[in-house]
Amino acid sequence: MAREPGKHAIIFLLITVLIDMIGLGMIMPVMPSLISGITGEGLGQAAAYGGWLMFTYALMQFLFAPVMGNLSDAYGRRRVLLLALTGLAIDYAIMGLAPSLLWLFIGRFIAGLFGANFAVANAYIADISPPEKRAANFGLIGAAFGVGFIIGPAIGGLLGEYGPRVPFYAAAALGFLNVLYGFFVLPETLKPENRRPFVLTRSNPLGAFRQMKQYPLIVGLLAAMVFFQLAHDVNPSTWSYYAMLKFGWSEGDVGASLAIVGIFMALMSGFGTRAIIPRIGEMRAATLGFVCASLGFLGFAFMTEAWMFVPLMAVLSFMALIMPSLRAIMSAEVPDNAQGELQGAISSVMGLTLIAAPVLSTQVFNTFTGPEAPVLFPGAVFMMASVFMLAALAIVTAVLRLREKPA
């Protein structure tokens, strides 16, 4: 596609990401029922299986995010993004037809490989955004995620009433429509003069991290992202199981709650980032996000009534300030022809923590809810997330203070 990206390029990308996230959100409310139906196990053991499925997804993201980022630096963002979207649509179809737990793992394998497209999407944003607007535009990606989680889980919860496989078929159909949309309207944003050859030694996690070593600030912030992601992934890993166990919610109730999550995150990502970050700066915005996230997770740990979810989610939504702020700080440290590599490294770190986070979260949940639990405390996993957020804040504060000191 020879057409140059115009002022509407970001709109095209956001619609593509939105449709992608609707498909992902549609399957979340029914995963517990699908796993339980295939295995015949209860929710506690289903959560453990769900953790290993997310482990598989995360391992592939960890391995292939640098590949996707470097491919997009070499061949352009558009064609790599379309390839990834096609793979995800195929994955939904496989999981919808899965006759056994093995096939669910095969589906997650494929999803993780192509789910690394978020590195390409963020590199796309870096291509078309001046440095002073990158944090706000990275926030728009978060808003697209949030809106996707408003629409997707709500649809998935409704379709789940007709069977746990129905949302997967719908997500597959939506995924293929997304590929068609992107093929006809998504412009290329990486100029030919900013492309560089694909080098295999750089296109793996170790190679990507080795390239980032020349930027000490980035290395420190990547370390903080590990703790941030470990905390962040507690919610998608365990919320469905937590809500069903503690409050007796149905798939429709879980879908509605995830839609509420999407509303708050979309508002904060779409409007909060554009209103707050330019006024108080990226560092202070990240600090505000970490503190509110820690308080929100702590509230989830001890909530006793279902209605408490809404005000606590309002506090937790400030977490949406964190990643746009950190990505903007980091993207300013690297040249234009390495933005894909940087975003690939970030996505690889997120994938690395995704390897540990779902297993850690679901095992902690199972430990404190199973028949041999030392004490029945489903909220233990959210208390852990609260502590991890404070650890990430401590690292970010230390790294940025070191940068500000004169040599």
3 in a structural domain:
no
From residue 238, alpha-carbon distances to 226, 260, 396, 397 in Å are: 18, 16, 27, 29
Return the SS3 of 379. Answer: coil
Q: Give the CATH number, domain containing residue 337.
A: 1.20.1250.20
Residue 90: Cβ-neighbour burial (10 angstroms; 0-12, 13-18, 19+): middle
* Dist CA 58 CA 20 (whole Å): 18
Q: Does residue 197 lie within any of the structural domains?
A: no
Of 17, 119, 143, 16, the residue nearest 330 (C-alpha): 119
Tell whether the model's pLDDT for residue 73 goes beyond 60. Answer: yes
Which residue is listed with tokens 């959100």?
25
CB 254 within 8 Å of CB 157: yes
Question: For residue 3, what pLDDT is reported?
Answer: 46
Checking if the pLDDT of 163 tops 50, the result is yes
CA distance 326 to 287: 11
Give the mean model confidence (pLDDT) for residues 132-161.
76
236 confidence band (pLDDT: 50, 70, 90): confident
pLDDT score, position 321:
92
Which one is predicted more confidently, 244 or 352? 244
pLDDT at 12: 72
Query: Does residue 298 form part of some domain?
Result: yes
Q: What is the DSSP string of 290-314?
A: HHHHHHHHHHHHH--SGGGHHHHHH
pLDDT at 40: 76
Residue 116: DSSP 8-state: T
Portion of the chain with pLDDT greater than 70, in percent:
90
Give the single-character DSSP code of 83. Answer: H
Find out whether 121 and 80 touch, Cβ atoms under 8 Å: no
> Is residue 300 domain-resident?
yes
CA distance 209 to 341: 10
Which amino acid is it at 309? F
* All residues at 6 or more sequence positions from 212 whose CB lies less than 8 Å from its CB, including other chains: 218, 219, 222, 342, 345
Report residue 299's pLDDT band, with 50, 70 and 90 as the boundaries.
very high
Residue-level pLDDT at 241? 82
Please indicate, yes or no, if residue 196 is contained in any of the structural domains.
no
190 is a domain residue: no
Residue 289 lies in a domain: yes
For 156-200, give the DSSP string: HHHHHTT-TTHHHHHHHHHHHHHHHHHHHHPPP-S-GGG-----G
Count up the domains in the chain and report the number.
1
Whether 172 and 93 have beta carbons less than 8 Å apart is answered as: yes
Of 356 and 295, the one with more pLDDT: 295
Helix 380-404, helix 234-247: angle, nearest 10? 150
Q: What stretch of H or E contains 331?
A: helix 322-331
- Give the helix/strand (H/E) hosting 151: helix 134-160
- Helix (H) or strand (E) run with residue 43 in it: helix 43-75
Sequence-separated (6 or more) residues with CB below 8 Å from residue 5? 127, 128, 187, 188, 189
Cβ contact 140:270 at 8 Å? yes
pLDDT of residue 13: 77
Kindly state the average pLDDT of the residues 9-18: 75
More confident residue, 25 or 100: 100
Count the alpha carbons within 13 Å of 400 in the hemisphere toward its beta carbon: 18
The answer to whether residue 406 scores a pLDDT higher than 50 is no
Structural domain containing residue 251? 9-183+203-404
Q: What is the pLDDT of residue 2?
A: 41
- pLDDT at res. 329: 85
pLDDT digits (tens, 9 = 90+) for 178-214: 888 878 877 777 777 778 777 776 666 666 667 677 7
Q: Which tops the pLDDT comparison, 305 or 194?
A: 305
- Give the rounded percent of residues in the chain with a pLDDT score beyond 90: 13
Residues 6+ apart with CB under 8 A from 228: 290, 322, 323, 388, 389, 392
When pLDDT is averaged across residues 310-315 and rounded to a whole number, the result is: 93
User: Would you say residue 67 has pLDDT above 60?
Assistant: yes
Q: Is residue 162 part of a domain?
A: yes
Question: 287 and 102 in contact (C-beta within 8 Å)?
Answer: no
Confidence (pLDDT) at 367: 84
Q: Does pTM surpass 0.85?
A: no
